[in-house]
Amino acid sequence: MKIDDALAAFEQNVSMLNPQSDPVQWNLNRGLANLCEAVKQLQIQQRRQATQLDEIQSKLRQLR
């Protein structure tokens, strides 16, 4: 399952749950959605850093 799919599923669950009548399920799904969002942001940051590393390595090869 891709992180975007998981995020969408947990957010859909949150939208269908009532936090007053089922706070445990609501909090669980909200927390999992937050975790998915954090993972998504880390993946974006990792891709950015990998691109920067590739650019640095390319410049180093040109200097040799």
* Model pLDDT for residues 42-53, shown as the tens digit of each residue: 999 999 999 999
* Model pLDDT for residues 17-62, shown as the tens digit of each residue: 999 999 999 999 999 999 999 999 999 999 999 999 999 999 999 9
- The stretches of the chain forming alpha helices (DSSP H) are 3-16, 23-63
**Predicted local distance difference test score (pLDDT) of residue 1:** 66
- What pTM does this model have? 0.81
Residue ranges of domains in the chain: 3-63
**Predicted local distance difference test score (pLDDT) of residue 10:** 98
CA 33, chain centre distance (Å): 9
